[in-house]
A and B are shown apart, each in its own frame.
Chain A
Amino acid sequence: EADIYQTPRYLVIGTGKKITLECSQTMGHDKMYWYQQDPGMELHLIHYSYGVNSTEKGDLSSESTVSRIRTEHFPLTLESARPSHTSQYLCASSEGRLTYEQYFGPGTRLTVT
């Protein structure tokens, strides 16, 4: 069982609200990732981090921001939620070597009304 956690699991929020999706891992992994996934669709990388104070935008443009102040914590923030942000957000971590797999959290399903 992977030790990577996401909260909340489900969130329904109104347009314009600021939200933060939490992701934590207890494995000491340097690399962490955020993916956006619409129902039944592929995963799109929106942010990743190589380590503390290192973050990069992913392949899919996103209005969200991330921070990496501690190794174990990689929160994602939306300053002003919009209905187009409705999606599932998956957090993952890995040891960083290319032969090592990613471990995924259970996801946060976000609905913006």
Chain B
Amino acid sequence: AQSVTQLDSHVSVSEGTPVLLRCNYSSSYSPSLFWYVQHPNKGLQLLLKYTSAATLVKGINGFEAEFKKSETSFHLTKPSAHMSDAAEYFCVVSEIGTYKYIFGTGTRLKVLA
């Protein structure tokens, strides 16, 4: 069975410093992986996705993620945090055979001025 683990429930960074949000996955197959962002009282917005093409995936707003099969990881990074990045971030894997998506428990990113 597939699963996703977000290793940190809360991350705090100072504005202008790098962001690292960690995600590990479990899958018997080559997975499709996604990162979504959710601002308060809003729906989820896709940041980026991995679908077995390039292992380094670039997304919107300067975010990128690297798929590492040997480490079963798909960590989200950004070189320089902005105040507007403060939000909840979800790592997601699509489930083989069911058309369902498995969500991580989320990481709340706080950006300090």
Q: Please, how many residues of chain A have a CB less than 8 angstroms from a CB on the other chain?
A: 25
Q: Are A48 and B99 in contact (CB under 8 A)?
A: yes
Binds B, one of A67-75, A76-84, A98-106: A98-106
Given contacts A90-B43, A104-B44, A106-B43, contact A98 B108 (CB under 8 A): no
A85-109 interface (Cβ within 8 A of B): 90, 92, 94, 96, 98-99, 101-107, 109
Give Cα A26–Cα B108 distance, bound, in whole angstroms: 31
User: Are B90 and A43 in touch, CB under 8 angstroms?
Assistant: yes
Could you tell me if B100 and A105 are in contact, using CB atoms closer than 8 angstroms?
Answer: no
Indicate whether A28 reaches chain B with its CB closer than 8 angstroms. no
Q: Does B34 count as interface, using CB distance less than 8 angstroms?
A: yes
On B, residues with C-beta under 8 Å from A are 32, 34, 36, 41-46, 49, 51-52, 88, 90, 94-96, 99-101, 103-106, 108
